Structure 1
Amino acid sequence: MSEESKAKQPQSPHVNSDADAHAKMVKGSAWMTAGSLFSRILGAIYIIPWVMWLGNHYSQANALYAKGYNIYSFFLLVAIGGIPSAISKQISEYNAINEYGVGQRLFKRGLLLTAALGLLSGLILWFGAKPIGFVFGGSDPNVIPVLRALAIALVIIPSMSLTRGFFQGYQQMAPSAISQFIEQVFRVVYMLGATYFIMKVQTGDWVNAVTQSTFAAFVGAAASFLLLAWYYYRQRPELNRLAAQSDAKLVIPVWQLFKDIIVQAIPFIVIDTATTVFNLLDQATFQPIMQATFHTKVVVINDLYALFAFNANKLVMIIVSLASAIAVTVVPLLSESLASGNFRNIRKQLEDAIVLFLFIMIPGALGMAAVAQPLNTLFYSYSQIGTMILQISAFTAIVLGLFTVVSALMQGLSRNRDIIRFYLIGLAVKLVVQWPCIYLLSAAGPLVATAIGMAVASLMALYDLEVNFGIRYVKLLPKVNRILIYSILTYIAATLVVHGLNLILNEQSKTQAFLIVILAVAAGGAVYAYFALKSRLADLMIGGRAAGLRRKLRIK
């Protein structure tokens, strides 16, 4: 059987050696990183024509889009946030003890549950759009049609996400990654087509353009769900074979399956909504604090809000998605090791996950901070304050990503109550520092307040993992120090290229900003790749392929 054919078959995730577990983590992270990264990049690139077609309305449109999407994201995560991860975790545990049939029954019953949750949440958002928009939309009536357009997507996305979780339970990340990318392609195509038709052909209303742009979430989700259904249909014979050869010693009633899903999902829902709750807190408090403190006009506040809630967030989420990819991959692996009582494997997987996260996240964040000025010009317009906000967002992304990963590690090890407690403490810290941060830093204040709150929660979680599972952070220090040094060198290289090219190119031109970004990213990436390969640090991440790259690049 070819490698490609093997990749398409459900794999039996029995207990593996350290090397096998590490290889699965790297491979799974590679798939999820690729899918998430391409999706996020595509989800950022569309901004360039979208902003151009919206013209002078783009800043207000960005603010409206962010307000609607933050509310929608909260509803979406409450409806499904924990279910894919919970299903992935449970199926992985059942498969580890050769009870494939139970896992497949769990999936089928879960589809019924998610269909009901999707319909219920969609109806609540549709009929509650007016009061919800009043509370979290700053009394903006334009939020109402946007929320109703997004309510339609809520109906099918829970079942789609559950199906992704099913494949992840078999440690198959390709269906999830590819469907994620397809979802984004269809969403962006519809979004841009509708916006162009409304703004350029009809010379229409920008609010209608934003409404149709948010309805694109349904179009993308429908395409993704159809692809996942096709994957499942192709693999059904193999799934039936695995179920037939199961031990079949567990007899679990239907009501117990539903209870298991809900009990497992609640902690995931609480944690998965963490970033969205932080964003909603910003949405609800930024306008009144700015009005009370600086007596700023609403139009100006919306412009400032768009800078960090939409503009910077869209770009920064590209690198935060890398952390999410690692988090999704590590949960079933940890659950499998926990089910088999292999604490040596658990410690190794925890250490690998943290190092892998830092290896990707730190240079990504510092690199984005280095190219913030031309990147902001390319996607939006030349703006010094926009550049500053993007730089701050890039640095705070490290903390957001860290919380994403450590919370997944805790949940994979069934330490749900502890991570929820740490998150609530972090949220309380955010509430305490929100006003002084906005008072001192204006539009950058919410970002800094979020970073402080998330840092507190993350540090508490890291300490918990050290105490209960014996992670040896001192052992990781040499690798972490090298990652940090190489990331700083990457930042310096990219920054020098940006400043050097700004002397001979027009930094306010989108075309020339694109050239600056490409050259600066290439220079910074080359520096990081060189040192990672030369120091053998890359070997920890990509194994034997690193040696081949060194030979091709003649790095000794």
Structure 2
Amino acid sequence: MTFGSILSRVLGAIYIIPWYAWMGHYGNIANALTAKSYNIYSLFLIISTAGIPGAIAKQIAKYNALNEYRVGQRLFKHGLLLMGIFGLVCAAIMYFCAPVFAAGDQRQVPVLRALACAVAIIPIMSIMRGYFQGYSNMMPSAMSQFVEQLARVIWMLVTAYVIMQVQHGNYLNAVIQSNFAAFIGAIFGILLLAFFYLRQKRQVDQLIATSDDDLQVSTSALFREIVEQSIPFILIDSGITLYQLVDQYTFHAMIASFIHASYDQIESWYALFGLNANKLIMIVVSLATAMSVTAIPLLSAAHARREWHDIARQLENTLELFFVVMIPASFGMAAIARPLYTVFYGPDKLGVAVLQLSSFTAISLGLFTVLLAMQQGLSENGLAIKYLVIGLVIKLLIQYPLIRLFKIFGPLVATNIAMFFTIAFSLKHLHIKYHYNLGRMSRRVIGILAFSVIMFVVVFLVEHVAGMFLSPDRRISAVIDLVLGVAAGCLVYGYLALKSGLAEVIGGSRVTSLRIKLRI
């Protein structure tokens, strides 16, 4: 699941290199249009799916753990019907209300309407993914995610090239087609999931035949259960999107109140953190997202069986795995920010600085995602929503003073501070209730942090030395610089983690065999 998510994110980032170049001097404006439209689109997707895929995965895992496979199957079929209805309704609202969401920018209206087509069918694809995840079968979800992204990227690049390079057309038409690509990708994703469903049907039918059938759940009760479980998922799943929407609807007005700049200039600044840096750090954050999706059915099953020790162990494992990957990935991205930004968007000192801060923000975004997902899996939706709301309120309160103080960096600083409170409350609650070993986990996190800092220093020095011989403003040189930095970072962090035994403690016997082979 993690591999599929990362691969999809990498594809979704790599396409930007030719796409951004083909847009010419409209690159940042085109990115700002895409970022704003996708934030609204993401929120509509979450509403249209109504959190049902996550709720379905959780409830199917619960019924499967109780050997009530027939109830889980009925739950999926009823959910599929709801998805079709919600998708069409939300797509219609998004299409007809596009002028309102555009907030006066008429260029954004056709872009939003192109995305409304995808909203109509993606909920069906999402619930099918939730169905497989409920059976702890992550491969179909991961494969469909990759195929969806691949089809989407191909459509985006072909249409952008034809419109901008062959026809020398309007950049807005290229952006519209790039957003319509979400619909094309969804079609391919659904077709692949349907194939996996038919292939797995015989095995599922056998499980249903052995079902206890002790639970008699009416159709109305199933619908009520879906809705009750899904409403918290709407709010929780939209957490990061809500933070981004706060930035989208406040940044321009707030910074324009004390800085005199053109509309397009402010939109270009917004694009630096709203899409340019965000697209790159979300590759790293996708690690956390994949882990959280996997954790929900596992925790839900343990909670249904009332296996408190297993819950504590699962909490520790998920958090430790998150930290061992996320912290060095974030530090590493910050160290190679200059060549990384140059490869994707061209040389830009301000863009590099924004990417460096965004790299550390990725840790907050990822931990926020994982913790709220854990609370969902443990049926603590109310608390998760409460902590999310507290964070959003803090974000709104400190947004303007921090933008005034830090300018373009203000929204990122505000996000980090607000998420800190949500994260702190969640960690404290989970520790008090489930008694996971906080002391042991803290020691490991300190070790991971120390190794990451050492790696950061080494990579930074490698980048500095390489910059003496390679021009940092040329893409080819930046690629070489990037490869050297990534190689140095992986070697240093990998060696330290293996030598200290940290990787072995968290990764288990497979890491042990690797350490022996490498004679470390």
User: TM-score band, normalised by the shorter chain?
Assistant: over 0.9
Out of 468, 478, 502, the residue aligned to residue 513 of structure 1 is: 478
Task: State yes or no: 1:95 paired with 2:64.
Answer: yes
Cα distance in 2 for partners of 1:497, 1:464 equals 42
1:103-142 equivalent positions in 2, closer than 5 A = 103-134=72-103, 139-142=104-107
Aligned residue among 420, 424, 442 for 2:407: 442
Matched residue, 1:174: 139
Aligned to 2:328: 363
Report what 1:311 is aligned to.
276
SS in 1 for 2:469: coil
Distance in 2 between residues matched to 1:66 and 1:120, nearest whole Å:
23
* C-alpha separation in 1, matches of 2:441 and 2:267: 44
Instruction: Give how far 1:295 is off.
Output: 2.6
Whole-Å separation in 1 of the counterparts to 2:477 and 2:260: 38
**What one-letter code is carried by the residue in structure 2 that aligns with 1:91?**
I
Partner residue in 2 for 1:503? 468
Q: Does 1:189 align with 2:154?
A: yes
* Aligned CA distance change for structure 1 residues 459 and 492 (closer, same or farther; 3 Å): same
SS in 2 for 1:317: helix
Match of 1:474 among 439, 450, 474: 439
Q: Is the 8 A contact 1:81 1:273 kept in 2?
A: no
**Superposed CA offset, 1:192-240 (max 9, x none):** 0000010011110000000000000011111011000000000100111
Runs of 5+ in structure 2 lacking a partner? Answer: none
Kindly indicate whether residue 361 of structure 2 is the aligned counterpart of residue 401 of structure 1.
no
- RMSD between aligned residues: 0.9
Superposition deviation, residue 552 in structure 1: 2.4
Letter aligned with residue 441 of structure 1: F
Structure 1 residue corresponding to 2:252, chosen from 253, 275, 287: 287
Q: Does 1:79 pair with 2:48?
A: yes
Structure 2: distance between partners of 1:80 and 1:448:
31
Residue 353 of structure 2 is aligned to residue 384 of structure 1: no
* TM-score normalized by the length of structure 1: 0.92
Structure-2 separation of matches of 1:544 and 1:186: 38
Structure 2 CA distance for aligned equivalents of residues 347 and 262 of structure 1: 28
SS in 1 for 2:231: helix
Aligned sequence identity (%): 49
Partner of 2:217: helix, strand, or coil? coil
Q: How big is each residue's C-alpha offset from its partner over 1:381-407, in whole Å with a ceiling of 9 and x where there is no partner?
A: 111110000000001110111110110
- Equivalent residue letter for 1:463: K
What are the superposed Cα offsets for residues 388-435 of structure 1, whole Å, 9 maximum, x if unpaired?
000000011101111101101111111111110111011010011100
Q: Which moved more, 1:482-491 or 1:41-50?
A: 482-491
Report the TM-score, using the length of structure 2 for normalisation.
0.99
CA distance in 1 between counterparts of 2:231 and 2:423 reads 20
Q: Distance in 1 between matches of 2:156 and 2:514?
A: 40
Match of 2:7 in 1: 38
Q: Distance in 1 between matches of 2:190 and 2:407?
A: 41
In structure 1, give the amino acid aligned to 2:473.
Q
Corresponding letter in the other structure for 1:121: C
Whichever residue aligns with residue 3 of structure 2, its letter is A
SS at match of 1:247: coil
Alignment equivalent of 1:453, drawn from 409, 418, 428 = 418
Give the 3-state SS of the residue equivalent to 2:149 in structure 1. helix
* Aligned amino acid, residue 468 of structure 1: K
In structure 1, distance between residues paired with 2:83 and 2:50: 11
Distance 2:85 2:500 in 1: 53
Number of the residue aligned with 1:24:
none
TM-superposed CA distance for 1:81, in Å, is 5.4
The total of aligned residue pairs comes to 520
- Rounded Cα–Cα distance in structure 2 between residues aligned with 1:170 and 1:528: 35
Alignment of 1:117-266 (within 5 A): 117-134=86-103, 139-266=104-231
Distance in 2, Cα, partners of 1:396 & 1:369:
10
Whether 2:458 is the aligned partner of 1:489: answer: no
Partner AA of 1:66 in structure 2: A
**Does residue 51 of the first structure (1) align with residue 20 of the second (2)?**
yes
Q: Distance in 2 between matches of 1:490 and 1:177?
A: 30
Q: Residue 539 of structure 1 aligns to which amino acid in structure 2?
A: E
Higher alpha-carbon deviation: 534-543 or 161-170:
534-543
1:230-272 CA distance string (max 9 Å, x none): 0000010011110111001111111111111111011111011
CA contact (8 A) 1:118 1:154 kept: yes
CA distance in 1: counterparts of 2:47 and 2:402, whole angstroms: 29
Please state whether the residue corresponding to 1:407 is helix, strand or coil. helix
Secondary structure of the structure 2 residue equivalent to 1:368: helix
Deviation string 1:54-87 (CA, Å, 9 cap, x unpaired) is 1111111011111111111111111125211111
Q: What does residue 18 of structure 1 align with?
A: none
Separation in 2, partners of 1:502, 1:436: 37
Residue in 1 aligned with 2:504? 539
Equivalent residue of 2:258, what SS? helix
Which residue does 1:9 correspond to in 2? none
- What is the CA distance between 1:551 and its match in structure 2? 2.5
Structure 2 CA distance for aligned equivalents of residues 540 and 418 of structure 1: 32
Describe the SS at the equivalent of 1:249: coil
1:330 and 1:132 mapped to 2: Cα distance?
Answer: 34
Question: Residue 463 of structure 1 aligns with which residue?
Answer: 428
Unaligned runs of 5+ in 1: 1-31
After superposing on structure 2, the runs of 4+ consecutive aligned residues of structure 1 that deviate more than 4 Å are none
CA distance in 1, matches of 2:304, 2:450: 38
Structure 2 SS opposite 1:293? coil
> Could you tell which deviates more after superposition, 243-252 or 535-544?
535-544
> C-alpha deviations, 1:146-189, integer Å up to 9, x for none?
00000000011001010101101111111111111111100000
